[in-house]
Amino acid sequence: MGESRQREGRPELIRARRQRGLSQVAAAEAVGVGQTTWARWERGEQGVRASHRAKIATAFEVDALEVERWIDGWSYGETSSWPITDYGDISVAATVKSAAMLWRYEMDASRRRLLASLPFVPSVLGEWLMSWNYGITPRTVAQQEGKCTVDLTDVAGIDEACKAFGQIDQQFGAGLVRPVVVRYLHETVTPLLRGRYDDRVGSELMRAAAGMAWLAGWTAFDLSRHGQAQQHFGQALRLAKTGGDPLTGAWALATLTRQAIHLDQGTVAVWLARAATDTARRAQASPRVMALMLTREAWAMALRTRPAETRDGHDAKQIERLLVEAENVHAQGATDRDPVWTSRYEETELNAEAGNCWRLLGDHTRAVNYAEAAVTAFSARLPRSAQLNRVHAAEAYLGMGELEQAIDVARATIPAAKALTSTRSVELIQRFADQLEPYKGSIMVREFHDHLNHALAA
């Protein structure tokens, strides 16, 4: 095993386990090894024998080649379909062709399965950021050839569809709405992008298409299809660049930041977050936009530096300054310059993200308060947000040493994890379960693990 594998671990093996709702203990039992051995496999600290690879394939009901990919990694050049989002040419024609290809792949069962199995690839982000920051926006976004004439009414239709699909996603999780989103992109948005339009309509069309591409990426992310999600976020970024829309681009970068945070890619998350913040500042973004960018940057920094563990006061102060700045600019209120997507990030949501920063800073009391406030605010109308914040509250209680309270809160998340069509919500509760390893001798912990495994298996 090379040094790079030892440093990077095996994120695809972790992802495969979490997709199946298994803790490290349950996965280890299924394969016939100890939890310590399984943990070393995931961290890339120990090789996996051929006999154990065969047992993983049997336990996880996949073929042997899939297990090889999880264990040995998937290098950049092993599939011709990655990356689809090539930034070598950001002309209107090239951007439309790239988007149409990706969305057409989503409608082909074999290609869709390939997309769903792709890993998150940090190495392509450098090219994307270079193109975003220094690429030349087309002089015109008009297109005079095409079968249909596109006007602002068509653009408004995309916006309304995106809003409706987004509400379903927030209410029930991505699994229910994602097939509709990608079909809409292929059957409705692609023909419009290939139509005839002037500069004004073209710019608005690119913005609206970027928003729908973002939703395709977001729903893939919620289902833990991370390479697939990255493709769509990259396409959203490209559409925003072609249409000359820095704020939608900043939104795509901030969401890629969120994905990197979820994947524990702290350094990558900081790069993306700073690019998002810099983009928003250059565009003189509204206070609500800046509040999101600053909060997301603080979260990325907190993940990368982990001040509660390192005791690095300098990093902690820098993160706190970002959170204070975010709070101050958000207090300036809404303006008529707020993009439509800012409605997803109300104050309670931003406070909940700030709570994750405070947890990483070691202020678990504040983290609990923010998470529980979000649960109260979201329980009736945004079940997934409430679910995720319950888990964050449980993590904060665990950080305080309140084991019983942490388990009680986490136990309450299990019914929603089963009801929502959101792999991410299941993964989060599994991550919490893994954090209970130091307390594995406790009866409470063993009972919680048994209850969780039984409930998710059912």
Task: Write down the pTM of the prediction.
Answer: 0.81
pLDDT in tens, 269-299: 999 999 999 999 999 999 999 999 999 999 9
23 close to 450: Cβ distance less than 8 angstroms: no
Q: Of 36-40, 184-188, 360-364, 441-445, which gets the smallest average pLDDT?
A: 36-40
- Vertex 429: Cα angle to 379 and 62 (nearest 5): 125
| Long-range Cβ contact pairs of 42-51 (< 8 A, separation 24 or more) | 42/9, 42/10, 42/13, 42/14, 42/17, 43/9, 43/10, 44/1, 44/5, 44/6, 44/7, 44/8, 44/9, 44/10, 45/6, 47/1
Say which residues have a Cβ less than 8 Å from residue 402's Cβ, sequence separation at least 6: none
pLDDT confidence of residue 435: 93
Choose between 37 and 200: higher pLDDT: 200
Q: Which of 18-22, 111-115, 433-437 has the highest mean pLDDT?
A: 433-437
pLDDT in tens, 369-378: 999 999 999 9
The rounded percent of the chain whose pLDDT value lies above 70 is 94
DSSP string of 63-106, one letter each residue: -HHHHHHHHH---GGG-TTS-S--TT--SHHHHHHHHHHHHHHH
Tokens 């504040």 locate to 366
What's the burial of 12, exposed, middle or buried (CB within 10 Å: 0-12/13-18/19+)?
buried
Q: How far apart are CA 46 and CA 24, in angstroms?
A: 15
Tokens 């450098």 locate to 126
pLDDT confidence of residue 158: 98
Q: What domains does the chain contain, in order, with CATH numbers?
A: 1-73 (1.10.260.40), 83-244 (no CATH)
Alpha helices in 344-439 (DSSP H): 347-361, 364-378, 383-399, 403-411, 414-419, 423-435
SS3 9: coil
pLDDT in tens, 2-18: 333 344 578 889 888 98
> Does 262 score more than 90 pLDDT?
yes
- Residue range 109-133: average pLDDT? 85
Sign of the C-alpha dihedral computed for residues 415, 418, 423 and 427 taken in this order: positive
DSSP state of 149: B
Residue 22's closest CA among 48, 69, 70, 59?
Answer: 59
pLDDT in tens, 49-77: 767 888 898 899 887 767 877 886 643 33
